[in-house]
Structure formats: C-alpha cells, structure tokens
A and B are shown apart, each in its own frame.
Chain A
C-alpha cells in the first residue's frame, strides 16, 4: 500500500508563471483533498473531490486556481499567474468515503512552492 504521493516536492517559479502540482492518492481512496499551508500555520482547506466530482471549493481558491481529477484517480492543482502570496506548501490528502471519522485522512509529503 503506497501512500499519497505528490510531485514535484519543490517548485521555484517567477511571478506570473503557471505551475501545476500532481497528487496520486492511496489507490482505493475515493475522496481527495487539497490544502494549503503557510509557515507556522495549520493547513487550510482548498477543495475536495469525491471520485471525479469536485464537490466543494473554499473561498481561498481564487479564479487563478483550478483543480481536476479527471478519472477519479490522480488530481492536479494548477495555479495561473502566480503571485508571491501563493508561496506555501500545497498538501494533498485522501480518504475513503463514509462515517464515522475513523476513515482517516492520509496526507502526502506536500509540494513546496516559492514564487520569486
């Protein structure tokens, strides 16, 4: 059972460029989440997929951000026209559907973005 994997782990980009992050969840997990974490803060929810459907988006997810999960497996998070305020770690997580919450949410190692 491989864990959640994210790629790339680190990305340095110039302001105004587009960047894309990929997340491969645990294979049997049908729920996938994206979070953003800035230094010294807890992760903040960005968006959530159940299978291929994007069911919730945070207001933090501006129009420059788009996420997809085309076949219900891997997901991509694209940031267009990056700004310095986008510098953060982007965390992907996955879980099984269902309650109670013992369906633990497992996180990847994160993708660090630095916008210069």
Chain B
C-alpha cells in the first residue's frame, strides 16, 4: 500500500535562508508522481511542484526544488531564500500510476509546519 511519511511536525527558518522539508514514500508501483502543496492558515491547498518517477532531473519551480532520491524513496522539498509569506503547512503527496488501477487520487503525509522568522 502506498504511504507518505513526513517526520518533521514543525520547522523554523530564518528569513532569506534555505530550508529542506523531508518526505519519504512507499509504493510498489514503478510509475508514480510526487507533489508538494502549501496550505496557509486560510486553508487553500496550493500546488507547488511535481516530480514524476521516471523524470531524470530534479524538478524546480522558482524558489522551490525537489531533491528526488529514488533509491531512498525520498522527495524532499527545498525552499531557497525563505520569505515571511512562506510560513504555512506543507504537505507531500503521491499518486500511483494507471497500472495500479489508480484513479489519480493523492495520498498525503501528515504535513510540516514551517515558520519563517524575520
């Protein structure tokens, strides 16, 4: 069964510094996708970045990059140059591929609360 684990309930980072949020996953499907979402206190889930299991390079989107280590089954989110507006809950999520009969639904981790200090 697929599973996502985020082991850091809370993280602090100084403004303008980089921070890494950890995510490990478990799946037997060779084809899967990994997502990171940001959830501010307002509740909206904001898509940040996506990594496919067959992608050769780590995904990047602006200040966000995904450190994908397939053999270790980890997909850590790196936020560079942290801003005060980055303070939020961050979720790692996975969807398995069509060979698993998956509907495309996401399975989420428990989340990590990030606080950026001025």
Given the known interface contacts A42-B111, A101-B95, A102-B52, the answer about A110 and B43 at a Cβ–Cβ threshold of 8 Å is: yes
A82 on the B face (CB < 8 A) = no
Alpha-carbon gap, A50 to B4, bound state (A): 25
A binding-site residues for B, Cβ under 8 Å: 31, 33, 40-45, 48, 50, 55-56, 89, 91, 93, 95, 97, 99-110, 112
Selected from A43, A101, A107, the residue in CB contact (under 8 A) with B33 is A101
Across the interface, do B91 and A101 meet the contact criterion of CB distance under 8 Å? no
B binding-site residues for A, Cβ under 8 Å: 4, 31-33, 35, 37, 42-47, 50, 52, 54, 91, 93, 95, 97-98, 103-111
Given the known interface contacts A104-B35, A107-B44, A110-B44, the answer about A48 and B50 at a Cβ–Cβ threshold of 8 Å is: no
Q: Determine the chain B residues whose CB is within 8 A of the CB of A95 once the complex forms.
A: 104
Distance between B79 CB and nearest chain A CB, rounded to angstroms = 19
